[in-house]
Amino acid sequence: MDKVRIGIVGLGNMGSMHTRYLFQNEVAGAELTAVCDKQPDRLAWAKEEFGDRVARFDDYNEMLASGAVDGVIVNTPHYFHPEQAILAMRQGLHVLIEKPAGVYTKQVREMNGISAASGKVFGIMYNQRTNPLYAKLKDLIASGELGEIRRTNWIITDWYRSQSYYDSGSWRATWAGEGGGVLINQNPHQLDLWQWATGLMPKRIRAFCSFGKHRNIEVENDVTAYAEYENGASGVFITSTCDAPGTNRLEVTGDRGKIVIEDGNMTFWRLRVSETEFNRTYKGGFGQPENWKIDISVNDGMTQFDMGQHKGITQNWVNAILKGTALLAPGEDGIKGLMISNAMLLSTWIDDWVNLPIDEDLFYEKLQENIRRSTSKKKVGLPQILDTGGTY
Amino acid sequence: MDKVRIGIVGLGNMGSMHTRYLFQNEVAGAELTAVCDKQPDRLAWAKEEFGDRVARFDDYNEMLASGAVDGVIVNTPHYFHPEQAILAMRQGLHVLIEKPAGVYTKQVREMNGISAASGKVFGIMYNQRTNPLYAKLKDLIASGELGEIRRTNWIITDWYRSQSYYDSGSWRATWAGEGGGVLINQNPHQLDLWQWATGLMPKRIRAFCSFGKHRNIEVENDVTAYAEYENGASGVFITSTCDAPGTNRLEVTGDRGKIVIEDGNMTFWRLRVSETEFNRTYKGGFGQPENWKIDISVNDGMTQFDMGQHKGITQNWVNAILKGTALLAPGEDGIKGLMISNAMLLSTWIDDWVNLPIDEDLFYEKLQENIRRSTSKKKVGLPQILDTGGTY
């Protein structure tokens, strides 16, 4: 294969964005050959933009069967991601899905199983993994510079959303339409980075979600979660859509110091000797380890993805298809952040600890309960971008 | 009364410090007339420093009954504070106690009741209330500048203590000797300021204490606590003695913006219109309230206590005795921070929510269990600075 022929499903904000750079041939080895959307006006937009050089479909299965594409990028609402990925994999196509991987892990686990059997390249649009700040954080942790991790605190409350935002779509902020709130919609990247950069998945979580705080919505829009890790470390994740102005501050403490990412900058307070070593040998009273405050430059050596985050992930996926190079964001990884997200909701619903991996059947059951009990005054129901057989 | 004649009980670090500025007549209207300590070397030190102008006692009750003092400043180990305050109040003396007010609220509540009946001036050495940063925070909240509070996050992990510190006293970091760890020893000020500056006591707390984390001690030295308030706000308090370097960052979000105190600076992101108002009227998609970033100067108008924090509290207490002026830190307030501290331990011990006010009998019972079960290799027992009748 010289070129990967790509079909885009879902021509909303994200899908349209992908078509543009692909159509301009900005991803080496890739070609935009098809698009798919249920809405006539989106297909009319595609015809105007791309003429007849790109095939248009209003039926996803037809696009998959057309022979016009080697791989698809899935940009539909959350609930559809696993099912549409599975359909494409069964057709022998490569798949790149938008985040989140899905709404509940049970469904995502099924997708991962089918992917493993398919032998096709399955990626997820975790474009923030190309962000030099988080890539550098991962580097400093994986290389041992920070030492064994002891604490991870992320205050990520700058996801401000007004009531008018929530009112702008009938599916928004409903259990039936999106399956959650700030965790599933705004934080998939952060929940992924939290585990990806640190290399640590929580062992158990105790979380406190508020539903419809200062907003007339039914899903969670304010969350404080406490996490414990296998190595004894602990962490806190705080997020909200009603703080103004919010904060985005990630602090990771290790045996060799502390890293803080805030306002786009990374600071590393590096201990001259590890805390463990200092504590073992120090004989005085109130002393503490000598630390060096270092402003970490995050642009060095980050050329691989410097052409833009989303495009970078697409290029990486195309390279994996053509050359067999490693994926920066394997699709199977999507279950990790989603597992944390599901655990936070479940902990709130059962008002207790949740061990990871979570009880996926219990989560699914509780989610369905919430959908059934929904008293949202909004018209509940998925936007009918695609007819997926009335499954949802 | 022209002068308040003061007796100092306990000539450790804090007690000695108080004697020095009092002996130099740096507190108007106050005179150091007596000191009390069980240890001969401390009394010898006092004789050398002050000669015979200051009476020396090795028995607390004798000092109280001597007629040489109008008020006492109590600087003994935590467990003694309530009992010694009560003894002084019963003698008709004014009392200023070091923090914490005690180890368990049951005992402190008794002290508060006796104080109320005594009609004497009862203060607590919450010297951080004179810190311009926190005084200004209280001002901005009480005056409505910040609006109704929505979130209070305090990361106060810069209480580094090495094993050698813990090993430096047989009573240190034991349930019998101190009744707790980082909460009772290092954080009394912060736990007080958290409620004093915000004007909010938590309604319920869910806390996660680690005991002897990276240290060979039996008490808590790493805590993450989640708090909920009556008005719907939430908060997080994170503290530790084994992070290096630690963080001291207090963030309070309100309906009119956000205040952050870090590195000795205060920043106020003030919303031009309140979040509630913006949300009510905004019709767009992703917009958010306009905010102005303001560096708050904390030195204006803070002359009352600018002569030093501890001395400031002592002066304020002396003024209250002589002129009837208001106390900045009434002794009765001591129960508030201690209640929060006790709630955090209790939540961990019962692995569940704790409502405030806490079940004081249950806390006392659990504390006694911990004392009985203590496996500390240290010699358990209080330093015998004072013979208080073998109560402890």
pLDDT in tens, B64-75: 999 999 999 999
Q: Scanning every residue of chain B, which has its alpha carbon at the shortest distance from the alpha carbon of A260?
A: B247
Nearest CB neighbour to B226, from listed A214, A226, A260: A226
Q: Do B162 and A243 touch (CB under 8 A)?
A: no
Q: How confident is the model at residue B377 (pLDDT cuts 50, 70, 90)?
A: low
pLDDT in tens, B200-226: 999 999 999 999 999 999 999 999 999
User: Is B258 at the interface with chain A, CB within 8 A?
Assistant: yes
Closest Cα to residue B47, out of B35, B38, B30, B59? B35
- Residue B384: its pLDDT value, please? 35
Distance CA B39, CA B42 (A): 6
Q: Is the pLDDT of residue B306 over 60?
A: no
Chain B residues touching A150 at Cβ < 8 A: 214, 242-243
Q: How confident is the model at residue B309 (pLDDT cuts 50, 70, 90)?
A: confident
Once rounded to an integer, what is the mean pLDDT over residues A277-289?
Answer: 96
Domain boundaries, chain B: 4-127+306-331, 129-304+337-373
Beta strands in A212-278 (DSSP E): 220-229, 234-240, 248-254, 257-262, 265-271
Once rounded to an integer, what is the mean pLDDT over residues A90-111?
Answer: 97
Transcribe A302-356 into DSSP letters: -GGGTT-HHHHHHHHHHHHHHH-PPPSSBGGGHHHHHHHHHHHHHHHHHTS-EES
- Residue B385: its pLDDT value, please? 36
Distance CA A209, CA A239 (A): 10
The CATH fold assigned to B4-127+306-331 is Rossmann fold (3.40.50)
Chain B residues touching A168 at Cβ < 8 A: 285
Radius of gyration of chain B (CA): 22
Pick from A120-134, A286-300, A355-369, B357-371: least confident: A286-300
Distance CA B367, CA B104 (A): 8
**Structure token pair of residue B376:** 């500390």
Distance CA B345, CA B183 (A): 9
* b/e map B131-158, b = 16+ CB within 10 Å: bbbbbbbbbbbeeeebbebbbbbbbbbb
C-alpha dihedral, A136 to A142 to A147 to A151, nearest 10°: 70
Nearest CB neighbour to A288, from listed B160, B163, B288: B160
Chain B residues touching A245 at Cβ < 8 A: 257-258, 269, 271, 288-289, 291
Beta strands in chain A (DSSP E): 4-9, 30-36, 55-57, 71-74, 94-97, 122-124, 149-156, 202-211, 220-229, 234-240, 248-254, 257-262, 265-271, 291-296, 354-355
ipTM summary value: 0.93
DSSP secondary structure code for residue A67 in this structure: S
Distance CA B222, CA B181 (A): 9
Chain B residues touching A217 at Cβ < 8 A: none
Which of 121-160 (A) contact B at CB < 8 A? 150-151, 153, 155, 157, 160
Burial label, A104 (beta-carbon count in 10 A; 0-12, 13-18, 19+): buried
Residue A277 has a CB neighbour count (10 Å cut-off) of 15
Chain A residues touching B289 at Cβ < 8 A: 160, 244-245
Q: Scanning every residue of chain B, which has its alpha carbon at the shortest distance from the alpha carbon of A285?
A: B165
Once rounded to an integer, what is the mean pLDDT over residues A318-347?
Answer: 98
Nearest CB neighbour to B282, from listed A162, A238, A245: A162
Nearest CB neighbour to B155, from listed A150, A153, A228: A153
Q: Scanning every residue of chain B, which has its alpha carbon at the shortest distance from the alpha carbon of A208?
A: B226
Q: Is the pLDDT of residue B297 over 60?
A: yes
- A29's CB contacts (< 8 A; 6+ apart) are A2, A3, A4, A318, A319, A321, A322
CA distances (Å), A265 to each of A137, A251, A345, B123, B154, in order? Answer: 11, 12, 31, 45, 21
Which of 285-314 (B) contact A at CB < 8 A? 285-289, 291
CA distances (Å), A40 to each of A10, A243, A250, A313, in order? Answer: 12, 38, 43, 29
CA distances (Å), A179 to each of A226, A349, A369, B71, in order? Answer: 22, 14, 11, 64
DSSP secondary structure code for residue A186 in this structure: I
Once rounded to an integer, what is the mean pLDDT over residues B46-68?
Answer: 97
Once rounded to an integer, what is the mean pLDDT over residues A152-156?
Answer: 98
| Apex A208 CA angle, A203 and A214, nearest 5 | 150
Closest Cα to residue B12, out of B89, B64, B73? B73
User: Is A211 at the interface with chain B, CB within 8 A?
Assistant: no
The CATH fold assigned to B129-304+337-373 is Dihydrodipicolinate Reductase; domain 2 (3.30.360)
Q: Which of A234, A291, A293 to mutate to test the interface with B (most CBs of B within 10 A)?
A: A234
Q: Do B238 and A287 touch (CB under 8 A)?
A: no
Q: Scanning every residue of chain B, which has its alpha carbon at the shortest distance from the alpha carbon of A160?
A: B288
Nearest CB neighbour to B244, from listed A210, A283, A289: A289
CA atoms within 13 A on the CB side of B276: 9
pLDDT in tens, A43-95: 999 999 999 999 999 999 999 999 999 999 999 999 999 999 999 999 999 99
Asked whether the domain spanning A129-304+337-373 has the same topology as the one spanning A4-127+306-331, the reply is: no
User: Is B247 at the interface with chain A, CB within 8 A?
Assistant: yes
Distance CA B214, CA B155 (A): 19
- Distance of alpha carbon B355 from its chain centroid, rounded? 21
DSSP secondary structure code for residue A98 in this structure: P
- Residue A378: its pLDDT value, please? 57
Chain A residues touching B228 at Cβ < 8 A: 208
Q: Do B257 and A244 touch (CB under 8 A)?
A: yes
Q: Do A291 and B240 touch (CB under 8 A)?
A: no
Which of 269-288 (A) contact B at CB < 8 A? 269, 271, 275-276, 278-280, 282-288
Q: Do A279 and B238 touch (CB under 8 A)?
A: no
Q: How confident is the model at residue A377 (pLDDT cuts 50, 70, 90)?
A: low
CA distances (Å), B391 to each of B37, B81, B113, B152, B381, in order? Answer: 18, 13, 20, 39, 12
Helix, strand or coil, per DSSP, at residue A8: strand
Q: Do B283 and A257 touch (CB under 8 A)?
A: no
pLDDT in tens, A170-211: 889 999 999 999 999 999 999 999 999 999 999 999 999 999
Which of 14-73 (B) contact A at CB < 8 A? none
Chain A residues touching B213 at Cβ < 8 A: 232
